[in-house]
């Protein structure tokens, strides 16, 4: 399996998904060698054979050349640089980074190094996650002739709200999707994108929805309040165009006019953050919106518990795992219909992201109608228990068996 | 001999529009008349008009053919408004003298469960409309969705009805067959007609189901099943939604051909008869007394009330609605009272049912909402506006609005939603 990240080493959302999926696969008896391009010296994992490609590369003495590029896997260039600093410092000491600054260069180094891995690893199927692994996956497929399963968590269109893609990224994605034997899409939304924008044959796409790992939750936890009698509405995610923080704030302003005792939290960071802080104050709700900046998973869980309502107004969300986390903490959620997760969730409220009035109206309803709130809370807590990684893992096993039977 | 008692339910609710929180206090347009019109015209074209035309032909061809209808007041209203030719075609059926109309609550409501006085008023309103349109005074009662128990039978007998319909559900019948006429427990002489759900649902639900072992259902086979009751039953009560013809079962399934052949095939056997509901109730001896304490209905697998009040949002919506009733009536404002009554229609609560996530898609039928929660939100928003207007109207009359008429559930919102 090829991925760009793996917890605890530089873990973003997709890294977490890879981690949980491989755990589920391991329980199904699948042996996995997980290769990521970079990492510290001695990586290890309990359930996969974790390898770092550049350590293999060093032994090969392969030279790579720099290519000018502003490509990044899941975040904007600014953020990428900032995160590199933060994680690099945390993991390897100040002043060093685990990843180079040029992504395309990294991808090609990864592709070169992976061939070395192939010399001593035995495997039947190549399972690769998202576009940054494409060159490596294709090199590996070419060298070994093993079937390739491309797992698509996000396309470049989603990062910009659905209308545009970076031509260089598009080209790599396109090649990967077309040369793969099977393409896994994390939702029908992604499948539709693959068919419409990348012209992938729908017959070779399989939809495998994500899941969420069971966690300790406690429905009685709502003790932490900012102040008694106040209600809290939470946005948690990257503050970028894709996540729709602006729609959240516009709706918040409408809610605030009717419900004076509600506060709003925007948790997370991103390139739109400064503009959002300004927008909140322009909308006259500067004193009602709290911007927390980056939060850890633990802090996130605390926020879910404190919140009376969680909102994910994403403009384009291939899947969207955060509402599942909120539901685990017993928090009712509103999600946009433009998210993959809305295909599988029932006990939630749904809106079109652009319909700010509807969003505000439903926020007010969920905060005001106690029976509605309780019932959403109750049913979504039950519903979420069905979302274990057992299901997607089994689907992947079925897909492996399918490609191996050809 | 075997008798066939056909009874059809005809009903269409006034569906609500997606009434938002921001409409409260600003708009008293609660119902989506455009959508209601579209649905009435669509069902009219696919079901009511062609089925009524066929029924009229059959009644004329076979003087022994008899059928019965219960058409809710809100359905009759909408026919009059959106498709008068449908109403005219029902009048033509009434004129044959072979068709009987039953009484029900005008608004197809659950008022028996929540407000007995309102229940009586809605029945009276329905009886008077049936009399006006069809020139008959109903003597047989059918409660909303066949909801039934002893207490209902008792009350309905007090109102002067002589027979009532219920689901022939095995767990409540025990060893009894639905193919006889019974007396309702605790009544003087209230006749109870029980639905033969197997033979009814063979037509209403399974007719076009290719996975069903009996598919395709030929008229010969069906008539054979009917004739086999001969000797161990007096009557087969076939109760179903009228929309079965052409709407639940599309024309291309052959449902109309089936219906067309039915009277002829059944009457081939000289001992077989067709009777309306009151004829069936009067012509057969009652075999036993049936004691049904807990409510039964014809809905879902449970045959209970859970389709309408099984979850807490349904219960809260019903509670709040009926709590508001007294204040609404005190305004003596006809329009307001009518709007409140349209909200009593059972469909609004059916849409809020969360069972349909697992219980098949019957609840989704003509359901204007994506989810039960959306249905609840629109309903509660409307109810808050109605409460607001009630308060204003009572204020003008110098009357007090009982603050507890509408229980507002959370502090922060009390400013808006009270």
- Signed CA dihedral, A68, A74, A78, A82: sign only: negative
Lowest mean pLDDT among A47-61, A75-89, B252-266, B356-370: A75-89
Ramachandran angles phi, psi of A146, nearest 5°: -80, 150
Based on the number of CB atoms within 10 Å of its own CB, is A17 exposed (0-12), middle (13-18) or buried (19 or more)? buried
Instruction: Give the pLDDT mean for A148-160.
Output: 91
Q: Which residues of A touch B373 (CB under 8 A)?
A: 347, 349, 372, 375-376
Q: What's the pLDDT score for residue A226?
A: 56
Instruction: Give the pLDDT mean for A236-241.
Output: 92
- Strand B3-10 relative to strand B235-241, pairing: parallel
How many percent of chain A have pLDDT more than 70? 84
Length of chain A: 406
At residue B363 the predicted structure's pLDDT band, cuts being 50, 70 and 90, is low
Q: What's the pLDDT score for residue A13?
A: 77
Both tokens assigned to B303: 């045959």
Give B317 to chain A, closest Cα distance, Å.
Answer: 9
Nearest CB to A371: which of B20, B313, B417? B313
Listed in sequence order, the residues at least 6 apart from B155 whose beta carbon sits closer than 8 Å to its beta carbon are: B112, B116, B119
Q: What's the pLDDT score for residue A60?
A: 58
Q: What's the pLDDT score for residue A97?
A: 38
Q: What's the pLDDT score for residue A65?
A: 37
Q: What's the pLDDT score for residue A87?
A: 42
pLDDT above 60: residue A68:
no
Kindly state whether residues A194 and A257 are assigned to the same domain. Answer: no
Q: What's the pLDDT score for residue B361?
A: 53
Give tens-digit pLDDT for B318-327.
Answer: 999 999 999 9
Chain A CA closest to residue B311: A375
Chain A CA closest to residue B371: A346
How many percent of chain A have pLDDT more than 90? 63
Kindly state whether residues A290 and A354 are assigned to the same domain. Answer: yes
- Between positions 399 and 418 of B, the ones with CB within 8 A of A are 408-413, 415-417
Q: What's the pLDDT score for residue B365?
A: 59
Q: What's the pLDDT score for residue A74?
A: 58
Q: Which residues of B touch A368 (CB under 8 A)?
A: 21, 408-410, 412-413, 416-417
Cβ separation A365–B381 shorter than 8 A: yes
Q: Which residues of B touch A229 (CB under 8 A)?
A: 411-412
Instruction: Give the pLDDT mean for B370-383.
Output: 94
Domain parsing of chain B, residue ranges: 3-290, 307-413
Testing the interface with B: which of A227, A357, A372, A378 to mutate, by most B Cβ within 10 A? A372
Both tokens assigned to B308: 């309408």
Cβ separation A361–B313 shorter than 8 A: no
pLDDT above 60: residue B47:
yes
Say how many Å lie between the first and final Cα of chain A, rounded.
Answer: 20
Q: What is the DSSP letter of B192?
A: E
Gap between the Cα atoms of B106 and A8, Å rounded: 65
Q: What is the DSSP letter of B46?
A: I
Element at B236 (helix H, strand E):
strand B235-241
Q: What's the pLDDT score for residue B415?
A: 39
Distances from the Cα of A140 to the Cα of A119, B54, B87, angstroms: 10, 70, 73
Q: What's the pLDDT score for residue B153?
A: 97
Contact with chain A for residue B374, Cβ under 8 A? yes
Kindly state whether residues A338 and A269 are assigned to the same domain. Answer: yes
SS3 readout for A120-186? HCCCCCEEEECHHHHHHHHHHHHHHCCCEEEEECCCHHHHCCCCCCCHHHHHHHHHHHHHCCEEEEC
pLDDT above 70: residue A219:
no
Kindly state whether residues A183 and A244 are assigned to the same domain. Answer: no
- Signed CA dihedral, A78, A84, A85, A90: sign only: positive
Ramachandran angles phi, psi of A213, nearest 5°: -75, 135
Q: What's the pLDDT score for residue B194?
A: 97
Lowest mean pLDDT among A21-30, A77-86, B16-25: A77-86
Cβ separation A349–B311 shorter than 8 A: no
Contact with chain A for residue B56, Cβ under 8 A? no
Instruction: Give the pLDDT mean for A127-151.
Output: 95
Both tokens assigned to A346: 């029932």
Calculate the CA B366 to chain-centre distance. Answer: 15
Gap between the Cα atoms of A187 and A179, Å rounded: 20
- Signed CA dihedral, A17, A23, A28, A29: sign only: positive
Q: What's the pLDDT score for residue B51?
A: 98
Instruction: Give the pLDDT mean for A91-116.
Output: 63
Q: Is A262 helix (H, G, I), strand (E, B) or coil?
A: strand
Ramachandran angles phi, psi of B333, nearest 5°: -90, 110
Give B372 to chain A, closest Cα distance, Å.
Answer: 9
Cβ separation B373–A349 shorter than 8 A: yes
Question: Does residue A225 fall inside a structural domain?
Answer: no
Q: What's the pLDDT score for residue A214?
A: 80
Kindly state whether residues A57 and A142 are assigned to the same domain. Answer: yes
Listed in sequence order, the residues at least 6 apart from A273 whose beta carbon sits closer than 8 Å to its beta carbon are: A239, A291, A293
pLDDT above 80: residue B158:
yes
Give tens-digit pLDDT for A284-303.
Answer: 999 999 999 999 888 999 99
Cβ separation B412–A358 shorter than 8 A: no
Gap between the Cα atoms of A272 and A159, Å rounded: 13
Chain A CA closest to residue B319: A371
Q: Greatest CA span in chain A, whole angstroms?
A: 66
Distances from the Cα of A11 to the Cα of A3, A49, A91, B54, B99, angstroms: 11, 17, 12, 69, 73
| Residue A247 belongs to domain spanning | 231-384
Nearest Cα residue to A336 out of A273, A252, A243, A262: A243
Instruction: Give the pLDDT mean for A203-222.
Output: 78
- Strand B191-195 relative to strand B163-167, pairing: parallel
Distances from the Cα of A341 to the Cα of A149, A321, A328, angstroms: 22, 7, 15
For residues B379 and B319, is the Cβ–Cβ distance under 8 A?
Answer: no
Kindly state whether residues A184 and A258 are assigned to the same domain. Answer: no
pTM over 0.90: no
Q: Which residues of B are catalytic?
A: 145
Calculate the CA B289 to chain-centre distance. Answer: 25
> Looking at the domain that runs over B3-290, which CATH code has it been given?
3.20.110.20
Gap between the Cα atoms of A395 and A259, Å rounded: 45
Q: Is A72 helix (H, G, I), strand (E, B) or coil?
A: coil
Based on the number of CB atoms within 10 Å of its own CB, is B37 exposed (0-12), middle (13-18) or buried (19 or more)? middle
pLDDT above 60: residue A90:
no
Q: What's the pLDDT score for residue A217?
A: 53
Contact with chain A for residue B26, Cβ under 8 A? no
Kindly state whether residues A182 and A327 are assigned to the same domain. Answer: no
Element at B257 (helix H, strand E):
helix B255-267
How many percent of chain B have pLDDT more than 90? 86
pLDDT above 60: residue B394:
yes
Q: Which residues of A touch B410 (CB under 8 A)?
A: 367-370
Both tokens assigned to A99: 């990843």
Q: What's the pLDDT score for residue A66?
A: 35
Considering chain B, what is the average pLDDT of its residues? Answer: 92
pLDDT above 70: residue A311:
yes
Q: What's the pLDDT score for residue A164?
A: 85
Give tens-digit pLDDT for A350-393.
Answer: 999 999 999 999 999 999 999 999 999 999 999 998 899 999 99
Kindly state whether residues A66 and A122 are assigned to the same domain. Answer: yes
Both tokens assigned to B362: 């019957």
Question: Does residue A216 fall inside a structural domain?
Answer: no
Distances from the Cα of A114 to the Cα of A134, A355, B245, angstroms: 12, 47, 65
Residue with more model confidence, B196 or A75: B196
Based on the number of CB atoms within 10 Å of its own CB, is B63 exposed (0-12), middle (13-18) or buried (19 or more)? exposed
Q: Which residues of B touch A260 (CB under 8 A)?
A: 412, 415
CB atoms within 10 A of CB A23: 17
Kindly state whether residues A292 and A340 are assigned to the same domain. Answer: yes
Dihedral, CA atoms, A266, A272, A277, A280, nearest 10 degrees? -80
Ramachandran angles phi, psi of A398, nearest 5°: -60, -40
Gap between the Cα atoms of A310 and A126, Å rounded: 37
Domains in chain A, number: 2
CATH, residue A207: 3.40.50.2000
Distances from the Cα of B57 to the Cα of B51, B68, B96, B245, B271, angstroms: 10, 16, 10, 15, 23
Q: What's the pLDDT score for residue A40?
A: 74
Gap between the Cα atoms of B195 and B172, Å rounded: 13
Contact with chain A for residue B175, Cβ under 8 A? no
Cα within 13 Å of Cα(B351), Cβ side: 24
Contact with chain A for residue B149, Cβ under 8 A? no
Chain B CA closest to residue A371: B313
Kindly state whether residues A196 and A253 are assigned to the same domain. Answer: no
Chain A CA closest to residue B410: A368
Kindly state whether residues A205 and A277 are assigned to the same domain. Answer: no
Chain B CA closest to residue A261: B412
Cβ separation A358–B20 shorter than 8 A: yes
Question: Does residue A100 fall inside a structural domain?
Answer: yes
Residue with more model confidence, B353 or A310: A310
Q: Which residues of A touch B370 (CB under 8 A)?
A: 350
At residue B398 the predicted structure's pLDDT band, cuts being 50, 70 and 90, is confident
Gap between the Cα atoms of A225 and A236, Å rounded: 17
Q: Is the peptide bond before A9 cis (omega within 30 degrees of 0)?
A: no
Residue with more model confidence, B369 or B373: B373
Give A376 to chain B, closest Cα distance, Å.
Answer: 8
**B344-357: b (≥16 Cβ within 10 Å) or e:** bbbbbbbbbbbbbe
Q: What's the pLDDT score for residue B288?
A: 93
Residue with more model confidence, A75 or B157: B157
Q: Which residues of A touch B315 (CB under 8 A)?
A: 371
Kindly state whether residues A179 and A235 are assigned to the same domain. Answer: no
Instruction: Give the pLDDT mean for B218-230.
Output: 94
Nearest CB to A261: which of B20, B315, B412? B412
Calculate the CA B407 to chain-centre distance. Answer: 29
Cβ separation B354–A369 shorter than 8 A: no
Catalogue the E-assigned strands of B242-319.
Answer: 273-274, 286-290
Element at A312 (helix H, strand E):
strand A309-312
Gap between the Cα atoms of A128 and A1, Å rounded: 6
């Amino acid at each position: 399996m090829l991925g760009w990240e793996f917890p605890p080493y530089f873990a973003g959302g997709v890294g977490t998904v890879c981690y949980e999926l491989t755990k589920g696969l391991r329980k199904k008896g699948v042996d996995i060698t997980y290769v990521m391009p970079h990492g510290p010296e001695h990586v290890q994992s309990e359930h996969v054979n974790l390898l770092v490609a550049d350590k293999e590369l060093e032994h090969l003495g392969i030279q790579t050349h720099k290519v000018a590029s502003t490509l990044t896997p899941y975040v904007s260039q600014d953020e990428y640089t900032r995160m590199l600093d933060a994680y690099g410092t945390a993991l390897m000491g100040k002043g060093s980074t685990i990843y180079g600054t040029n992504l395309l260069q990294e991808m090609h180094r990864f592709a070169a190094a992976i061939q070395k891995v192939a010399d001593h690893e035995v495997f039947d199927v190549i399972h690769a996650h998202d576009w940054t692994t494409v060159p490596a996956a294709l090199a590996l497929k070419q060298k070994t002739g093993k079937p390739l399963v491309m797992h698509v968590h996000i396309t470049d269109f989603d990062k910009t709200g659905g209308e545009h893609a970076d031509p260089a990224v598009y080209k790599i994605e396109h090649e990967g999707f077309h040369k793969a034997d099977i393409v896994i899409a994390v939702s029908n939304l992604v499948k539709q994108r693959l068919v419409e924008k990348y012209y992938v044959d729908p017959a070779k796409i399989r939809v495998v929805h994500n899941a969420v790992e069971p966690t300790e939750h406690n429905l009685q936890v709502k003790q932490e309040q900012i102040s008694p009698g106040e209600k809290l509405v939470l946005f948690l995610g990257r503050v970028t165009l894709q996540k729709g923080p602006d729609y959240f704030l516009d709706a918040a302003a409408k809610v605030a006019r009717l419900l004076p005792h509600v506060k709003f939290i925007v948790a997370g960071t991103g390139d739109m953050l400064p503009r959002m802080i300004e927008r909140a104050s322009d909308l006259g709700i500067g004193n009602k919106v709290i911007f927390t900046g980056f939060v850890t998973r633990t802090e996130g869980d605390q926020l879910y518990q404190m919140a009376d309502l969680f909102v994910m107004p994403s403009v384009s969300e291939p899947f969207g795992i955060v509402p599942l986390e909120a539901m685990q903490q017993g928090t009712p959620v509103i999600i946009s219909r433009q998210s993959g997760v809305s295909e599988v969730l029932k006990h939630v409220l749904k809106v079109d992201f652009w319909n700010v009035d509807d969003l505000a109206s439903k926020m007010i309803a969920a905060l005001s109608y106690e029976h509605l709130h309780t019932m959403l809370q109750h049913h979504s807590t039950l519903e979420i228990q069905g979302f274990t990684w057992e299901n997607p893992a089994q689907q992947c096993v079925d897909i492996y068996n399918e490609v191996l039977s050809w | 001999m075997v008798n066939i008692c056909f009874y059809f339910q005809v009903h269409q609710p006034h569906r609500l529009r997606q009434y938002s929180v921001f409409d409260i206090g600003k708009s008293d347009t609660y119902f989506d008349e455009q959508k209601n019109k579209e649905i009435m015209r669509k069902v009219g074209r696919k079901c009511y008009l062609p089925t009524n035309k066929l029924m009229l032909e059959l009644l004329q061809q076979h003087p022994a053919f008899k059928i019965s209808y219960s058409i809710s007041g809100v359905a009759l209203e909408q026919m009059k408004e959106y498709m008068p030719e449908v109403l005219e075609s029902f009048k033509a059926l009434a004129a044959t003298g072979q068709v009987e109309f039953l009484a029900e609550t005008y608004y197809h409501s659950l008022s028996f469960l929540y407000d007995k006085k309102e229940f009586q008023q809605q029945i009276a309103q329905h009886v008077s409309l049936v009399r006006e349109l069809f020139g008959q005074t109903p003597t047989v009662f059918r409660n909303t969705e066949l909801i039934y128990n002893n207490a209902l039978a008792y009350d309905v007998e007090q109102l002067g009805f002589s027979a009532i319909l219920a689901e022939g559900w095995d767990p409540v019948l025990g060893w009894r067959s639905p193919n006889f006429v019974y007396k309702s427990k605790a009544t003087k002489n209230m006749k109870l007609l029980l639905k033969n759900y197997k033979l009814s649902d063979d037509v209403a639900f399974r007719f076009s189901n290719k996975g069903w072992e009996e598919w395709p259902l030929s008229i010969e086979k069906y008539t054979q099943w009917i004739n086999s009751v001969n000797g161990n039953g007096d009557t087969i009560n076939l109760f179903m939604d009228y929309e079965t013809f052409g709407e639940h079962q599309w024309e291309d399934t052959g449902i109309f051909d089936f219906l067309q052949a039915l009277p002829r095939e059944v009457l081939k056997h000289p001992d077989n008869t067709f009777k309306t509901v009151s004829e069936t109730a009067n012509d057969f001896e009652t075999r036993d007394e049936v004691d049904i304490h807990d409510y039964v209905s014809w809905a879902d697998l449970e045959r209970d009330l859970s389709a309408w009040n099984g979850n807490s949002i349904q219960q809260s919506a019903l509670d709040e609605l009926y709590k508001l009733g007294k204040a609404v009536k005190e305004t003596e404002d006809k329009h307001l009272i009518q709007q409140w009554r349209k909200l009593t229609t059972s469909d609004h609560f059916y849409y809020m049912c969360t069972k349909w996530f697992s219980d098949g898609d019957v609840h989704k039928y003509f359901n204007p909402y994506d989810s039960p929660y959306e249905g609840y939100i629109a309903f509660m928003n409307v109810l808050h506006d109605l409460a607001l207007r009630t308060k204003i109207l009572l204020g003008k009359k110098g009357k007090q609005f009982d603050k507890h008429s509408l229980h507002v559930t959370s502090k922060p919102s009390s400013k808006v939603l009270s």
